[in-house]
Amino acid sequence: MAESPVERNALRMVNIEKYFGLVCALRKINLEVGSNEIVGLIGDNGAGKSTMVKILTGVFPPTSGEIYIAGNKVDLRNYNVKRAHEHGVETVYQDKSLGEKQVLWRNFFIGREITLPFGFLNVKKEKEIANEIMVNTIGFRGKGITVDSKVSKLSGGERQGVAIGRAMHFEAELIILDEPTVALSLKEVAKVLNFVHKIKEAGKACIYISHAMADVYEISDRFVIMDRGEIVADMAKKEISLKALDEFLLEYSHGMKDKVEL
């Protein structure tokens, strides 16, 4: 992070809490993501990972706490998916990032269309830019996939590539990958990881949520482990080996580990 004189985080969450009625889903979450850092977010089902993602992407607001994106404070009362996009938070979901029956160029610009007067689409421009993203950002070359192909013709890995390419095109500060490799074959997982490397190369920040420990370990700079609504560990890659990380988590899920002091 030597390139910027003022140290700037892509994301800073301060004391974020979320209650659903009396049930506490997130307790005192403090998380920072550096401007070109890939953070692997790990945790069992129900640990609060997806609640956190939903707060970050504007699906619902937190009960209390503050969020700063690229140094700008987020107005949480007026926060929604569109605002999240404006702040530069882009999310790639396991399965709900793309409209299956729609052609690729529409998928790149859905919700953020390039329009002519009266809301008509500038199809020519959208196709041009979509093609540019596919060739240069994602590197789909000579695979018989064009901007006019339907998403249903793409493999799982390619779909995630399209979603990641779209996120990068829209100048994301922070790209959240919510279990992007679930239900993919090994070959497709490799493709997705390759796309994640491109996020890093492009100088963006990323939160990578996954169960697949080997994937998370390979691409992350830092690991954040959540359990029952709290962050229980936060460590840099150099502090821990994959084997140690695995054992740590295994012990955790068996309830043998007490809370690690941060």
Partner 1 sequence: MKKGTSLLKFLTRIEGLPVAAVLAVLYGVLIIVAPRVFTGFRIYMSFLQTVPPVLVCALGLTLVITAGEIDLSFPAIVALSGFIFAWVFKKFDAPWAPWAGFILALACGALVGYINGLLVAKIGVPSIMATLAAQFFWYGATILLANGLQLNIKDVTTSIVHTIFVGRINIGQVPVPMQAIWALGLAIFLWFILNRHKFGEEIMFIGDNANVARVMGIDVVATRIKLFTVMGVIAAFAGLLLTLEINVFFPTQGSGFLLPTMAAVFIGGTSIAGGLGSITGTFFGAYIIGSLEAGVVATTISGYWVQLIEGIVMGASVVLNIIIEEGHIATTFNRIRHWVRPDQPNTKYEGN
Q: Which residues bind partner 1 (CB under 8 A)?
A: 57, 59, 80-82, 85, 91, 93, 96-102, 106, 110-113, 115, 119-121, 123, 144, 149-150, 153
- 66: DSSP letter: E
Q: What 3-state class would DSSP assign to 79?
A: coil
What is the nearest approach in angstroms of partner 1 to the Cβ of residue 175? 14
For partner 1, give the closer residue by CB, 10 or 98. 98
For partner 1, give the closer residue by CB, 57 or 210. 57
For partner 1, give the closer residue by CB, 13 or 89. 89
Burial pattern 126-151, b for ≥16 Cβ within 10 A else e, equals bbebbbebbeebbebeeeebebebeb
What is the nearest approach in angstroms of partner 1 to the Cβ of residue 131? 16
Q: What 3-state class would DSSP assign to 221?
A: coil
What is the nearest approach in angstroms of partner 1 to the Cβ of residue 15? 26
CA distances from 189 to 35, 47, 214, 232 (A): 25, 24, 11, 28
Q: What 3-state class would DSSP assign to 150?
A: strand
What is the nearest approach in angstroms of partner 1 to the Cβ of residue 146? 8
What is the nearest approach in angstroms of partner 1 to the Cβ of residue 117? 11
For partner 1, give the closer residue by CB, 105 or 217. 105
Q: At a CB cut-off of 8 Å and minimum separation 6, what does 37 contact? A: 10, 205, 206, 221, 222
For partner 1, give the closer residue by CB, 77 or 101. 101
